[in-house]
Structure 1
Amino acid sequence: MVVLRRLDALLEPGKDKVMEELAFQRDEAGFTEWDEAGLRDASGYVFYNTSEWTLQRLYDTATNNQQILQGNVEDYLKGFSANVKEIIEKFKLARQIRHMASKDVLLDVLEKFTSPNINLTPFDKDDPEGRKMPALTNLGMGYVFEELIRKFNEENNEEAGEHFTPREVIDLMTHIIFEPVKDRLPPVMTIYDPACGSGGMLTESQNFVKDQNGGIQTKGDVYLYGKEINDETYAICKSDMMIKGNDPENIRVGSTLSTDEFAGTRFDFMLSNPPYGKSWSTEVKYIKDGKDIIDPRFVVRLKDYWGNEEEAPATPRSSDGQLLFLMEMVNKMKPVSQTPLGSRIASVHNGSSLFTGDAGGGESNIRRYIIENDMLEAIIQLPNNLFYNTGITTYIWVLSNNKEKRRKGKVQLIDASDCFGKLRKNLGNKNCELRPEHIRAIQKACNDFTEVRKEEDGGLAVKIFDNSDFGYYKVPVERPRRLKAQFTHEAVSGLRFDKTLKEPMEWAFETYGKRIYTELPKLEKEILDWCEKNEFDLDAKKRKTLCSSRHWEKQRALMHHAQTLQNAIGNDEHKDFNKFQNQVEKVLKAQKITLTASEKNAIYGAITSYDESAEKVIKKQQKLKGDKLENLLEHLGCTAEQLPDFGYYPGEKKDEYITYESESDLRDSENVPLKESVYDYFLREVKPHADEAWIDLEKIKIGYEISFNKYFYRHNPLRSIEEVSVDMLELEQESEGLIMDILGVVN
């Protein structure tokens, strides 16, 4: 109703002209279809209404008959142009009108919204007593929507991530994005928000560059683009675009992640507060096909440890899609070859975007791609409790693909968590605000590009880092497998059962004995009923395997083969698995038994265990000399003496090198800063504690993370024991005196 009244109040002054144009087209020109251009010219806006009604006229002529009033209101809604009808549809307004009429409140609602004492238009006006009523801006509309949701229907806004951006945060973002390039603004500017909500960031950006809020004052044309998935906020945004004379067709409804609505379009400036902590699982099918990324927006090219470039996924966990919106904006940046300014981005995120995701994972790849391509200018930590429906810490990411010279290869981190003023009254979770002096201080810190200690500048701290300071190598550290082997009755008998179905198979064999091999189809229902009763969550494949006679026979045959080996080799313990393995192979050959690799591994898995006193298990023995050795040394970047540190150990024969199986339970990894040598770090931090360890360079991954706590943490030393003791004695005396007073004892 607020949106409807805004549109209605704007059309009221031109209502007679619209009706005259309508009569002209119908009676004199004889049009069978309306000339929309003429009607838009008559209304003065890109929308119009061809019914005889306005909301004021509906109220003035209404009777107590709610049905007649409902019919008139419905005629009024049908008279709007198609672009407004879409807004009405998104709000489901026709249904709400019928509901209000059925409850006999429609007339009362009209009375409130047509009151001369409220101003829902984007222009200043006077009340009946001549007092000025300020305009309701687009940002004001956002506040209205947020407050209505919070106060009257809070459940609708509890989905994670939907946080309306306060005006002062938008103000800070516009200053940061536009101020540094105010003298180089292009004559035609495009501004985009992929999660535009009610359009506050778009219209405030336009106001800022057009000097409507004391901003830059450019004569260039500004075109606004946005996309919003929520129907109601989309309707608010689109209505305001129509009111302000912006092209409403540039605002689209739907999921930004599912559909690349503006594919091929590039924008000069982008500002956004995407949803964070919100699942994008419903969009996965549009972005990924299995493990393959099918949307080019979310694939990046990165180099591995050896410098080979390859495609890498830029998709975070499906439980949080905020970084996908950042990649959408990165994808829409104008190349410097197209415009000298390039593109600038400001995006609000929570803390998880800074550090979640392991090296090689989607989140880390996104951070890596942005930082290694020198797009990240700064990240600003905002105060807690700045938003209306969340108290979490938030950060503004500032990106540019055309940094000024002093910023190239650098990232500026600003801790503004203590820059705020307290509100007199909380607004939901919001209990503080950024005041103009705070915005100026943060903007100045951005522009100055110098480090600042928090103690020196009233709650503001600034640090500057090289891009590579945030990167690290995740280096796998392996240790050799040492196995002892021994055939035992228990281990061999256990091979009758598939280890993935061990418990239900054991129960079935204990219950039915040899019948399991002859009558399994008859027993299937009882076995599956037992599994269900005992809460075994078996999928269709496992249920089929459990009730497969062939699978039972296969496991029994494996047990019999192990018994044959046991009879030939005996029950002694073997601490050299390499020799034991040779014995097994000789027996299998002599007995003419053929086993697959997986069957052998199943037997070995049953009869072996790790023993640190056992011999190391050999994986491969190979000759390395001449060009082959030189190529390996060049590839690893080491000398022949250093080969053991990379998993290649000298054998007994000349030029022979041995690689060992690695023990997964002893596998570890080290995060080595990009600026440091992986090998030097290994020698210093790992080798003294695990002499047999080696590093697997083939599996090294590169990751990036940003930790504000690490960079801005300030240690507060504990008080001395003497100070604490004095306080304790004073408290003890005070409490003793209070007890005496209560008991009425006089000292």
Structure 2
Amino acid sequence: MNYVIHNGIVNFIWGIADDVLRDVYVRGKYRDVILPMTVIRRLDAILEPSKQAVLQMKEQLDAAGIVNQHAALCQAAKEAFYNDSPYTLGDLKSRAKLQQLKADFEAYLDGFSPNVQEILDKFKFRNQIPTLIEADILGDLIEKYLDKKINLAPKPVLDMEGNELLPALDNHAMGTIFEELIRRFNEENNEEAGEHFTPRDVVKLMANLIFLPIANEIESGTYLVYDGACGTGGMLTVAEERLKELAKGLGKEVSIHLFGQEVQPETYAISKADLLLKGEGAEAENMKYGSTLSSDAFPSQEFDFMLSNPPYGKSYKIDLERLGGKKHMQDPRFLLQHNGDPEYQMITRSSDGQLMFLVNKLSKMKHSTKLGSRIAEVHNGSSLFTGDAGGGESNIRRWIMENDWLEAIIALPENMFYNTGIATYIWLLSNRKAANRKGKVQLIDATQWYLPLRKNLGKKNCEFTEEHINKICELILTPKETQQSKIFPNEAFGYWKVVVERPLRLAVDLSPARLDKFAEACVKAKDKGSAGLAKRVAGSLGPGPHLDYNLFMDRCSVFAKLDAVKLTAKRKTWLRDNLCDHHEQAEPVIKKVHKPGKVQADPLYGLYDCEVEGKPRVVEYEPDSSLRDTEQVPLLEEGGVKAFIEREVLPYTPDAWVDDAKTKIGYEVSFTRHFYKPASMRTLEEIKADIYALEQETEGLLEQIVGEAN
């Protein structure tokens, strides 16, 4: 493609906005007119040669009473779209009366096929017509797009003698021009750009990451590429071009089908229009509108390659409600069986749904093909570590690691994207890992590999060069340990979250003052039995304080039977709350007593040998919730939880134990832990030299100030 001509066309169209729309629209709204009008003019130019054939076919179909006319009209137009109105844009240029122009222009728009109608509807272009008519600029706008200085048609413009005045604009060139216009408008609206526009250098890197490792295994055939947050479709088209390039280099013939879903109406319209402008009408039908999370457009489809830059840090509360909420979730993508759990939930907090997009992709992997599926997805740092063990985020990471799907995570430089300066990462996944990658995850720190931009684009102030992209890809193709590349076993990111308990120790106060206060509370609670029971026990044991709560409860049980007072669980709690205090020297409160043989004593898990009424028993102690703590024990800890607790906990709290029923497995990834480089401390000599230098600078200054004051 001739880039001089390409840039000339882009500049001309960009100039239309300034020439025609300046006094009517603010700059941020130029795109609402220019993008749909560019689409309309290109489609008009493509359809112009077949216009009469379409009108004749329309007339024949109407006369025959045929209702479903789409296929026949597309065939007449020789495209995946058509316009069966009697007009072209050239016909409308001569309309002098505004109302006639408005009526004819609307009739012209109504003549487009349904796939183009959907694009116009999502652009909300018809909403602009009253403004254009009222400002009397619709005619000027049409005339600008028909200017002889540019050619948006797929055929060249010739002079009377057949010489080429303006070259033809093929579908690829037109698509590139359209994408350049989108990019410029994104720069004009920096605060919105990153929501649907991923920098081309990052997209190129992602395409290389999913294709290069299996480039030599690409065979002639059909491949499906998917983006569940496709925005303007840039990732899909770059991936398509890269796959075709690699296949061609290997002498293979591949057929590539693109699939995407987008929830923002305008960006969806752009993605569909872009494919139509490139002559890929069939692929345009695979672009679907709606929320990927709550309204999956491809529920039973599997894909060979998937890549996305999903929204991060963005609430998906509405989607979660539509899915039934966490309690009533039925979507098999997010609720499945794993590790023996029949309802293994992978539902993140409603405030951030980025990992849900990754789970959606993983549910669409091919498991029966040689290449399987490869995925590249952009995330911010929260996907690496947010969420406690057993929570949605951690469960997703665990599911991925334990299935051995994660190949690598690449840390990108800050300020790589248009709308955020925070740290971002590319996750690379595959269900067909190479032999040297099985059971391992590679972390690559590419935060220092970038070229500063001369001018910021929103918050983007740097970019990858070809050299940087090649350097990252080389580390992926030949994984090795370097300062920027670390390789770990999957288990290195896993841990047991264990709950460490300590026994409840209570002292019982049966002093007269405490009993009087308790009696008053019993009167208010209309509890006649408890006050008398406490008084009887006090007469037997004395005022205390008694450091054996278990003995106190035994005596309460005895006297309750004698006095025909029911010692219910509620009454036991009432006695404990009103007559007992925490005491470090008290005996542990016994929760449960087991007969020997049925349960084996194991102090690590809170089971102790003990004598109860002179008989050997195994007891469980009541845990003290105020002393409860948690520990994270690495899965690779030598000796496991037992060794960790014996080394890190029991020397300081010998009465502690682990509640095994509450132990959960979690996974998190910490780049800081593996790549942090502490700043070197200054030597004492350097500090001393600085102090002396400061003294010399201030020498005599105090005397001067004091002297001036006097």
The answer to whether TM tops 0.5 is yes
Contact 2:61 2:69 in 1 (8 A): no
Q: Give the secondary-structure state (helix, strand or coil) at the position aligned to 2:681.
A: coil
Contact 1:343 1:402 in 2 (8 A): yes
Relative to structure 1, the CA distance from residue 558 to residue 428 in structure 2 (aligned partners, 3 Å threshold; closer, same or farther) is farther
- How far the C-alpha of 1:204 sits from its partner, in A, is 1.0
2:82 is the alignment partner of 1:48: yes
2:156 is the alignment partner of 1:184: no
Distance 2:488 2:517 in 1: 58
2:604 to 627, 634, 645: 645
Q: Give the secondary-structure state (helix, strand or coil) at the position aligned to 1:69.
A: helix
2:513 is the alignment partner of 1:483: no
Contact 1:298 1:313 in 2 (8 A): yes
Deviations 1:664-688 (A, max 9, x none): 1111121111122111111111111
Contact 2:153 2:169 in 1 (8 A): no
Relative to structure 1, the CA distance from residue 599 to residue 123 in structure 2 (aligned partners, 3 Å threshold; closer, same or farther) is farther
- Counterpart of 1:671 in structure 2 is 632
Deviations 1:461-488 (A, max 9, x none): 1011111111111111111110123363
Relative to structure 1, the CA distance from residue 46 to residue 606 in structure 2 (aligned partners, 3 Å threshold; closer, same or farther) is farther
- How far the C-alpha of 1:194 sits from its partner, in A, is 0.8
Relative to structure 1, the CA distance from residue 395 to residue 218 in structure 2 (aligned partners, 3 Å threshold; closer, same or farther) is farther
- How far the C-alpha of 1:20 sits from its partner, in A, is 2.8
Contact 1:119 1:133 in 2 (8 A): yes
2:276 is the alignment partner of 1:239: no
Contact 1:342 1:400 in 2 (8 A): yes
Q: What TM-score, normalized by structure 2, do the two folds share? A: 0.84
Matches within 5 A, 1:621-632: 621-625=593-597, 628-629=598-599, 632=600
Contact 1:473 1:703 in 2 (8 A): yes
- Counterpart of 1:620 in structure 2 is 592
Deviations 1:510-543 (A, max 9, x none): xxxxxxxxxxxxxxxxxxxxxxxxxxxxxxxxxx
Matches within 5 A, 1:50-69: 50-58=84-92, 60-63=93-96, 65-69=97-101
- How far the C-alpha of 1:728 sits from its partner, in A, is 3.2
Contact 1:139 1:200 in 2 (8 A): no
AA of the residue aligned to 2:185 = L
Matches within 5 A, 1:522-533: none
2:620 is the alignment partner of 1:659: yes
Relative to structure 1, the CA distance from residue 32 to residue 619 in structure 2 (aligned partners, 3 Å threshold; closer, same or farther) is same
Contact 1:474 1:701 in 2 (8 A): yes
Relative to structure 1, the CA distance from residue 221 to residue 582 in structure 2 (aligned partners, 3 Å threshold; closer, same or farther) is same
Deviations 1:686-721 (A, max 9, x none): 111111111222221111100000011112221012
Matches within 5 A, 1:46-195: 46-58=80-92, 60-63=93-96, 65-115=97-147, 141=178, 144-145=181-182, 147-148=184-185, 151=188, 154=191, 157=192, 162=195, 164-186=197-219, 187-195=221-229
Distance 1:596 1:290 in 2: 37
- Counterpart of 1:530 in structure 2 is none
2:234 is the alignment partner of 1:211: no
2:477 is the alignment partner of 1:447: yes
1:417 to 444, 447, 451: 447
Q: Give the secondary-structure state (helix, strand or coil) at the position aligned to 1:285.
A: helix
AA of the residue aligned to 2:584 = E
- How far the C-alpha of 1:94 sits from its partner, in A, is 1.0
- Counterpart of 1:266 in structure 2 is 302
- Counterpart of 2:662 in structure 1 is 699
Q: Give the secondary-structure state (helix, strand or coil) at the position aligned to 1:12.
A: helix
Relative to structure 1, the CA distance from residue 260 to residue 280 in structure 2 (aligned partners, 3 Å threshold; closer, same or farther) is same
Contact 2:317 2:351 in 1 (8 A): yes
Matches within 5 A, 1:565-576: 565-569=533-537, 572-576=544-548
1:196 to 213, 230, 249: 230
AA of the residue aligned to 1:228 = E
- Counterpart of 1:463 in structure 2 is 486
Distance 1:369 1:613 in 2: 45
- Counterpart of 2:17 in structure 1 is none
AA of the residue aligned to 1:659 = E
Deviations 1:303-351 (A, max 9, x none): 3xxxx5543211111111111100000000000xx21111000000000
Q: Give the secondary-structure state (helix, strand or coil) at the position aligned to 1:346.
A: strand
Deviates most, 85-94 or 372-381: 85-94
2:691 is the alignment partner of 1:728: yes
Deviates most, 293-302 or 209-218: 209-218
Distance 1:55 1:602 in 2: 87
Q: What TM-score, normalized by structure 1, do the two folds share? A: 0.80
Relative to structure 1, the CA distance from residue 601 to residue 28 in structure 2 (aligned partners, 3 Å threshold; closer, same or farther) is closer
- Counterpart of 1:256 in structure 2 is 292
- How far the C-alpha of 1:646 sits from its partner, in A, is 2.0
- How far the C-alpha of 1:729 sits from its partner, in A, is 2.8
Q: Give the secondary-structure state (helix, strand or coil) at the position aligned to 1:692.
A: coil
- How far the C-alpha of 1:69 sits from its partner, in A, is 2.4
Matches within 5 A, 1:303-342: 303=339, 310-335=342-367, 338-342=368-372
Distance 1:170 1:124 in 2: 33
- Counterpart of 2:73 in structure 1 is 39
Q: Give the secondary-structure state (helix, strand or coil) at the position aligned to 1:358.
A: coil
Relative to structure 1, the CA distance from residue 80 to residue 737 in structure 2 (aligned partners, 3 Å threshold; closer, same or farther) is farther
1:583 to 551, 555, 558: 555
Q: Give the secondary-structure state (helix, strand or coil) at the position aligned to 1:197.
A: coil
Distance 1:215 1:99 in 2: 51
Relative to structure 1, the CA distance from residue 471 to residue 94 in structure 2 (aligned partners, 3 Å threshold; closer, same or farther) is same
1:716 to 668, 679, 701: 679
- How far the C-alpha of 1:28 sits from its partner, in A, is 9.1
Relative to structure 1, the CA distance from residue 110 to residue 590 in structure 2 (aligned partners, 3 Å threshold; closer, same or farther) is farther
Contact 2:605 2:660 in 1 (8 A): yes
- Counterpart of 1:473 in structure 2 is 496
AA of the residue aligned to 1:318 = S
AA of the residue aligned to 1:667 = R
AA of the residue aligned to 2:482 = V
Q: Give the secondary-structure state (helix, strand or coil) at the position aligned to 2:253.
A: coil
- How far the C-alpha of 1:296 sits from its partner, in A, is 1.0
Q: Give the secondary-structure state (helix, strand or coil) at the position aligned to 2:285.
A: helix
- How far the C-alpha of 1:86 sits from its partner, in A, is 1.1
Contact 2:190 2:458 in 1 (8 A): no
AA of the residue aligned to 2:458 = G
Deviates most, 191-200 or 480-489: 480-489
Contact 1:209 1:216 in 2 (8 A): no
Matches within 5 A, 1:587-602: 587-594=559-566, 596-602=568-574
Relative to structure 1, the CA distance from residue 78 to residue 732 in structure 2 (aligned partners, 3 Å threshold; closer, same or farther) is farther
Contact 1:482 1:616 in 2 (8 A): yes
1:688 to 651, 660, 668: 651
Distance 2:61 2:36 in 1: 34
Contact 2:156 2:166 in 1 (8 A): no
Deviations 1:46-102 (A, max 9, x none): 1111223334443x3143x43332222211110110111111111221112123323
Contact 2:216 2:250 in 1 (8 A): no
- Counterpart of 1:348 in structure 2 is 378
Distance 2:150 2:701 in 1: 60
- How far the C-alpha of 1:293 sits from its partner, in A, is 3.2
Deviates most, 183-192 or 67-76: 67-76
Distance 1:585 1:687 in 2: 35
AA of the residue aligned to 2:293 = L
Distance 1:742 1:68 in 2: 85
Contact 1:163 1:390 in 2 (8 A): no
Contact 2:36 2:120 in 1 (8 A): no
- Counterpart of 1:515 in structure 2 is none
Distance 1:130 1:212 in 2: 33
Contact 1:211 1:217 in 2 (8 A): no
